[in-house]
Amino acid sequence: MDSNWVDTSLDLNLNPFPGKPKKTEPVEDLVVLQGKELQMDALMEEFNQLRAENRKLTEMLTIVCENYTSLQNQFMELKNKNSENEVTTSRKRKGEAAPDDCANMIGFSGRSESSSSDEESIKRPKESSKSSISTVCVRTSPSDTSLILRDGYQWRKYGQKVTRDNPSPRAYFKCSYAPSCPVKKKVQKSAEDPSILVATYEGEHNHACPSQAEVSLSSTQTAANPCRSVPISAPVKPSAPSVTLDLLQPSFIKDVKKSSEEMDSADIQKLLVHQMAASLVRDPNFTAALASAISGGVLEQSRIEKC
């Protein structure tokens, strides 16, 4: 990612009036000249302040980048460990009760056929032979009965069923963004904690992920907080050059999972802000947009003062 960084530091040492030659002022205009010198001093002071601000921002960006890199490294280590464990656990599954329950956690098990708390995927050989099955647990309001989980894709509900081991119904969704997309999703509330939605994804999307904005506009689903749900790792990234909060990042999911286990709500909020900032900073489009916005503002201000 390092190669994609846009240098966001602005050269605020620039001369705001570059092509303007200094005229020799007549002696009778001395008062006017002094006034202009005062104006120049004020401008220089303002530029110095902006430069200091810019330096602070650059330092903050550096810290954010370092944090992101370390988080990513931690995730990769964890992922490697998990993949080793899954090889051993998936062999001894048949006939066992589901060992894991998502009731007390938020997280996911990606690309694994040993999905936790999903016994039907174990029962049926047809399903277990599918390319990828992953499970996501999302904390929602217990009063929310919509069973709708916003994860950046468009889904069409094609069925709902009450299962034996869970009083809350299970909803069946198909990806409706692309007609040929084979991905299916099952969403059901946890039997032990109704505030947790358990979503099981089957298959992989064969299309780009529609942007969150598109989804929130086009979907007729309930208007919910876009951060309410935590999606699984998406196989296909959006290709449009828009600035998006990349909440699909593995490190984000990992931290949200961790946060629900050991942090209070204030810490979770801090973490969310941190992760969002890191996602924005990682996006070259955002940094470029930020740089142009700041420089545009400076030029605009100097133009106003010129007039």
Partner DNA sequence: CGCCTTTGACCTGCGC
Partner DNA sequence: GCGCAGGTCAAAGGCG
> Per CB under 7 A, does 205 bind DNA?
no
> Per CB under 7 A, does 150 bind DNA?
no
Locate 32 and state its tokens.
């006017």
Q: How far is the CB of 229 from DNA (least distance, A)?
A: 14
Question: What are the b/e assignments for 191-222, b being 16+ CB within 10 Å?
Answer: bebbebbbbbbbbbbeeebbebebbeeebeee
Residue of the chain from 176, 285, 295, 301 that contacts DNA (CB under 7 A)? 176
Q: How far is the CB of 292 from DNA (least distance, A)?
A: 35
Q: Which parts of 95-124 interact with DNA (CB under 7 A)?
A: 120-121, 123-124
Residue 135 bridge partners (DSSP)? 109, 200
Q: How far is the CB of 94 from DNA (least distance, A)?
A: 8
> Per CB under 7 A, does 158 bind DNA?
yes
> Per CB under 7 A, does 221 bind DNA?
yes
Helix spans in 189-230 (H): 212-218
> Per CB under 7 A, does 155 bind DNA?
yes
Distance CA 12, CA 52 (A): 10
> Per CB under 7 A, does 139 bind DNA?
no
State which H helix or E strand residue 273 sits in: helix 265-282
Binding mask 282-301 for DNA (x = CB under 7 A): --------------------
Q: How far is the CB of 71 from DNA (least distance, A)?
A: 34
Q: Are strands 196-202 and 184-189 parallel, antiparallel or unpaired?
A: antiparallel
Measured on CA atoms in the order 112, 125, 175, 238, is the torsion positive or negative?
positive
> Per CB under 7 A, does 130 bind DNA?
no
> Per CB under 7 A, does 303 bind DNA?
no
- Residues counted in the chain: 307
Residues of the shown chain interacting with DNA in the complex, contacts defined by CB under 7 A: 120-121, 123-127, 148, 154-165, 170-172, 176, 184, 186, 220-221
